[in-house]
Amino acid sequence: ESTISVGKEANIFSARTKDGGRIIAKMYRLENCNFNKMYDYLVLDPRYMAISKRQRLIIFAWVQREYKNLLTARKVIKVPKPIAFKDNIVLMEFIGHEDAAPQLKDSPPKEPKKFFEKVIKNMTKLYKGGLVHVDLSQFNILNLDEEPVFIDFSQSLPTDSSHAKLYLKRDIKNVCTYFRKFFFITEEDEAQIFEKIVKQGIHRK
């Protein structure tokens, strides 16, 4: 139906279903993907440590992992519902109304502190649910009617990965860096947010 974004490694389109509904198709470019970087992320994931280093298989595993991570994430927070995947394509729920919901970078929240608190709450729920996003920033958060929706879960790691906490710290830093333009956030605040999220994760069921 229409192109939503064209990236270095993947293009995102909106499409119509047979019944007239709208979905998102994310198509990874087999020739453009940085499969070495993908491989480096995959081998940190206990689910994919035995992955072959063949380029196509890495990309197909990357797509499968995005689908699986979305299934896990949607149990605890609002994310695009995954519909299906095959080879280098993953289909998911369309987020928005007439137009696709904008990225946070293009749609600053009307109440930044309130929105920030919702983002941290989602990060906490996600960690408690067993995942770290790994690439969270204003580029991978949608602003849907002043509610954050996390997207792009291809690089996300389970919390039992040896690098999960390292990437959680990076996610917190990225989010805090964006929101510093609206209100005061210290490095001490970042550390406290990290400790609180990890503590919640320890007590998950």
Single out the catalytic residue among 152, 160, 171, 189.
152
40 is catalytic: no
Single out the catalytic residue among 106, 135, 160, 171.
135
Q: Rg of the Cα trace of the chain?
A: 17
Q: Token pair for residue 21?
A: 């509904």
Q: Find all residues with CB under 8 Å of 144, minimum gap 6, and list them.
A: 78, 95, 96, 101
Q: Find all residues with CB under 8 Å of 44, minimum gap 6, and list them.
A: 157, 161, 162, 163
Taking the CA atoms of 156, 161, 167 and 169 in sequence, report the sign of the dihedral they define.
Answer: positive
Q: 135 and 155 in contact (C-beta within 8 Å)?
A: yes
Residues belonging to the active site: 135, 152
